[in-house]
A and B are shown apart, each in its own frame.
Chain A
Amino acid sequence: MSPDAVAGGGNAAPAVRLTGIAKRFPGVVANSDVDVEIRPGTVHALVGENGAGKSTLMKILYGVQKPDEGTISIAGEEVAFASPADAIARGIGMVFQHFQLADNLSVLENVVLGAERLHGIGARARTEIERISAAYGFALDPDELVETLGVGQRQRVEIVKVLYRGARVIILDEPTAVLVPQEVDALFANLRELKSEGHTLVFISHKLDEVLAIADEITVLRRGTTVATVTPDTVTAHELAELMVGAELPTPSSGESTVTDRTVLEVRGLRVDDAAGRALLDDVDLVIRAGEVLGVAGVEGNGQTELVEAVVGMRSAVAGTIVLAGTDVTRRGTRERRESGVGYIPEDRQRHGLLLDAALWENRILGHQTRPPSVRGLWLDRGGARADTERIVDAYDVRTPGVDTTARALSGGNQQKFLVGREMSGDPVLLVASHPTRGVDVGAQAAIWESIRAARRRGLAVLLVSADLDELIGLSDTIRVVLRGRLAGTFDPRTVTPLELGSAMTGADASEPA
């Protein structure tokens, strides 16, 4: 296509027009009757809750998947993409939510991969990458290994990849999901610059304030279909939210304080090392009392994962003590800690929480394999486990055909509700929740928030790690910030703003101790 056709906007043909797109997977309709028209030289936002079909739609536009029905036209010309290569040739580029980067390759190698004909794989390519990087203030070293880069830098590599191929239409799939507020501002500055140069940007998000801040037009998707296209000056965040869910959006809030004096978890001087002996966590002190939710905020990779794993017993402490309800459990294994009352919602439920190909009732036994009702003496109690699984399915509103269904067959939200139900079984005293609502739909999110509030009312201590600052502020009684393996600031969720937390998370806050 000719780049001139997209410049200027106005009456020119739409940069992208999707008409009547439908895509079905076995048992699921991901998209149906989707109509989107994206004007050239604009930022077009695509909003919708998780599972509304945004990502599938964009994968279709980028040629990763083929639509079952409907047509795609680029700059007025109808096209059919057999693979991303075809989409790239038409000037479409995509920045994926889960970065598509090879850790063990250099920045240069990641960028030139698949586009080796443009500038080779050597010095000319390096010059071109440095030119793009400098033009947008990215400060990327082409020869650095991607595995050493932080999240923000990885995203910049993704953007360079797209620009290197000369893309005119750039799709960004939830680009802010992994960024702290300051990084989001930097990203938005880059996006505005790209727009002013005549690029067309498709911005996918469910964060409405961001969408309203950056978009020229907004298309709302609900249950796989487009329900409205609006401009930001004619709609409020509240109205957008209602369009997205078809009802009012739930908010996290904790209600009255239930904090007591009884200490449930006490961590003193905790240090955790990586394989090479470098400290991942150092000198961590924290106390959680019964009925208290302690929120931990931090940019991913600053030690929150290690903190959770140390508390649960998956990583051993090099120094320090962990005292659970008056008992020193520092040297105890994960099973013993769970038996003494730790419930754990892992950050990646599919890797750590569930056996995807096992039935729900078998998954119910996991982590409770020494305790009733799953076990009688040395033997598994199948009947007891099944009955208790039925209880969880009812009590936590897990939408499943039955307890013999495999975990894989459930949606992410239902998997997570089941997991929460399982971890709340067996009278825990401490609930460790790591990103409990990541990747779940709004309905499940509300249910999980309610479960955490219920746990707090029952007098559990809750350690909550989340990247969603609104969730942390809404649910926590106290918020601690983890930065480079140390607990930095302590904040009161009633008074703190996401921006202040963001500053502390990046270490930009001058008042925070080094």
Chain B
Amino acid sequence: MSRGARLWLYALAGLVALSVVRTVTGADDLTSAGTMRAAIIAAIPIALAGLGGLWSERAGVVNIGLEGMMILGTLGAGYYTYYQGPWVGLLGAMMFGAIGGVLHALATVVFTVDHIVSGVAVNIIAAGVAGFLAEVFFADLEGGGPTQSPSLERPMSITVPGISDWSADLSAQRWFLVSDLAGLINALTAGLSIFTVLALLALAGTGWLLWHSAFGLRLRSCGESPSSAETLGVNVYRYKFLAVTMSGVFAGFAGCYLAVVASSGYANGQTGGRGYIGLAAMIFGNWRPGGLLTGSLLFGFTEGARLRQGGESVHALLLLIGVALLALAAWQLYRARRAVALLAATVGAGALWWYLATEAVPDSFTEMTPYVATLLVLALFSQRLRMPAADGQPYRRGEAG
């Protein structure tokens, strides 16, 4: 089976599982159009950050500075959108992100600074610069303040007539599977931001470019074996530099999405660690665009579920988590991996007990659901991952052979 077909199958299985959980628990908001919409809006910035990570790491540069580049992106989006509208705002965000990318590229590629050290430096610098410039840019504007921009114009959104109304009706019926699917369709056809479409195109385009073009082959070869690339006449420095810069561009896009689509303006600390989550989603996705989108949707969905009927929906999810973990434990036990099985069984049983013993999950817990889910998924499913072979290693020209 092709990789694409498998992804669709996983997506369908996920939807069926959610549908079952919704029917069993009666947590109807779990798959409503509203939750789905919130899930997509939460997932896209993470996917974009992950996409930035993908570009950089496929070329062999670990990019923990995504968070910082994303912060720069939110700031750029805030400034340019306020004065010139969302499209220029997007370009501005990408430019600001690219500045972070160039900084990281200079440090890691040209001066062979340790990638983690440089990335952390980018994060710290970006947070500081954004805090300072936000005050310069927005403090005196009407509706703005030293830590936030005025509310910003949103990019256009698309509503497909017919399908959107029809799917909204169907979604409200609460039929098994049909209504859940309709909820998803409604989220994709009513009020879909043009930036969401653009982000999905960026993911697909990256997949095509990196795996089906000569440019992509060269870029990936820099992450797998830069010395081989060098001996075949590839300018490794150039490709790495470009890849890390592009990484910043996509992280900037992610920041823009956060500022103008997911919320109504720039605010300090808006990224809330989504750059790191994006990196985690990319790792979960095995350094591939389809995989990282799956990881992002997983996070986005838990985030969306908590934003809506948080206590109830997350409570319903406990059932799913519990059963899934127990199944995983059985599978790992069969594979003779006792430690993993024990961990999965313990957490799974805990989740089930919690589900049965309570009616709803307290808000203080729902806040952390997406993060806990990410951690769990990474811990349990990250065993067969294959990172680019030379990822994170310093490269100097002339050492080949």
- Selected interface stretch from B228-236, B262-270, B321-329: B228-236
Q: Count residues of B near A (Cβ-Cβ below 8 Å).
A: 25
A358 within 8 A of B: no
B29 at the interface (CB under 8 A from A): no
Contact of A103 among B220, B235, B389 (CB under 8 A): B389
| B212 neighbours in A (Cβ, 8 Å) | 121
Also in contact, A88 and B401, with CB within 8 A (given A100-B227, A101-B225)? no
Q: Is A59 positioned at the interface, with any CB of B under 8 Å from its CB?
A: yes
Name which residue of chain A comes closest to B226, CB basis: A102
Judge whether A65 and B232 touch: CB under 8 Å: no
Partner of A102, one of B213, B214, B224: B224
CA distance A100 to B230 in the complex (A): 9
Q: How far is the CB of B235 from chain A (nearest CB, A)?
A: 7
Interface assignment of B369: CB less than 8 Å from any CB of chain A: no
Task: Give the CA-CA distance A115 to B225 in the complex, in Å.
Answer: 16
Query: Is B386 an interface position by the 8 A CB rule?
Result: yes
Contact, CB under 8 Å: B232 / A84: yes
Given A64-B231, A84-B232, A104-B388, the answer on whether A116 and B214 have CB atoms closer than 8 Å is yes
* Residue from B213, B224, B233, B401 in contact with A98 in the complex, judged by beta carbons closer than 8 Å: B401
Kindly identify which residue among A55, A94, A103, A104 contacts B231, using a CB–CB cutoff of 8 Å.
Answer: A94
The answer, yes or no, to whether A226 is at the interface (CB within 8 Å) is: no
Among A126-179, those with CB < 8 Å from B are 161, 173
Beyond A113-B221, A116-B217, A121-B214, whether A96 also contacts B231 by CB under 8 A is: yes
Contact with A along B370-400 (1 / 0, CB 8 A): 0000000000000000101100000000101
Output the least CB separation between B243 and chain A (Å): 16
For the A-B complex, the count of residue pairs with Cβ-Cβ distances under 8 Å equals: 88
Minimum C-beta distance from A59 to chain B (A):
6
Does A112 lie at the interface of the complex (its beta carbon under 8 Å from any beta carbon of B)?
Answer: yes
- Please give, as numbers and ranges, the residues of chain A lying within 8 Å of B234 by CB-CB distance: 113-114
Q: CB-nearest residue of chain A relative to B398?
A: A65
For chain A, what secondary structure do more than half of its interface residues adopt (helix, strand, loop), or is it mixed? loop
A292 CB, nearest partner CB in chain B, Å? 38
Q: What is the CB-to-nearest-CB distance from A98 to chain B, in angstroms, rounded to a whole number?
A: 7
Contacts of A112 in B (CB 8 A): 214, 217
Q: Which residues of A contact B227 (CB under 8 A)?
A: 100
* CB-based contact A104/B386 at 8 Å: yes
Whole-angstrom distance from the CB of B347 to the nearest CB of chain A?
A: 23
| B104 at the binding interface (Cβ < 8 Å) | no
User: If A100-B225, A100-B228, A104-B389 touch, does A64 touch B233 (CB 8 Å cutoff)?
Assistant: no
| Alpha-carbon distance A98/B227, docked complex (angstroms) | 10
A83 touches B233 (CB 8 A): yes
Is the pair B389, A84 in contact by a Cβ cutoff of 8 Å?
Answer: no
Q: Kindly state the separation between the CA atoms of A100 and B220 in the bound complex, as whole angstroms.
A: 15
A64 vs B230: C-alpha distance in the bound complex, in angstroms? 8
Kindly provide the distance from the CB of B62 to the nearest chain A CB, expressed in whole angstroms.
17
A114→B218 CA distance, assembly (Å): 7
Residues of chain A with a CB closer than 8 A to B230's CB: 64, 83-84
Nearest-Cβ distance from residue A200 to partner chain B, whole angstroms? 19
> What distance in Å separates the Cβ of A308 from its nearest Cβ neighbour in chain B?
24
Q: Which of B213-262 contact A (CB under 8 A)?
A: 213-214, 217-218, 220-221, 224-225, 227-235
B388 touches A85 (CB 8 A): no
Is the beta-carbon distance between A64 and B398 smaller than 8 angstroms?
yes
Partner among A88, A120, A173 whose Cβ is within 8 Å of the Cβ of B232: A88
Question: Which A48-104 residues have a C-beta within 8 angstroms of B?
Answer: 55, 58-59, 62, 64-65, 83-86, 88, 94, 96-98, 100-104
Tell me whether A114 and B233 are in contact (CB under 8 A). Answer: yes
Within 8 Å of chain B (Cβ to Cβ): is A109?
Answer: yes
The smallest C-beta distance from B25 to any residue of chain A, in angstroms, reads 38
Query: When the two chains form their complex, are residues A173 and B401 in contact, meaning their CB atoms are under 8 A apart?
Result: yes
Q: Does B5 interact with chain A (Cβ within 8 Å)? A: no
Would you call A366 an interface residue if the criterion is a C-beta within 8 Å of the partner chain's C-beta atoms? no
> Besides A83-B230, A114-B232, 4 other CB < 8 A contacts?
A104-B386, A105-B220, A105-B224, A113-B218
- In the A-B complex, list the 6 residue pairs whose CB atoms are closest, starting with the nearest: A85-B233, A114-B232, A116-B214, A102-B224, A102-B225, A100-B228
Q: Measuring CB to CB, which residues of chain A are less than 8 angstroms from any residue of chain B?
A: 55, 58-59, 62, 64-65, 83-86, 88, 94, 96-98, 100-105, 109-110, 112-117, 120-121, 161, 173, 277
Query: Could you list some 22 contacts between A and B, CB below 8 A?
Result: A55-B401, A58-B401, A64-B231, A84-B233, A85-B232, A96-B231, A96-B401, A101-B225, A101-B228, A102-B225, A103-B224, A104-B386, A104-B388, A113-B218, A113-B232, A113-B234, A116-B214, A116-B218, A117-B214, A121-B212, A173-B401, A277-B336
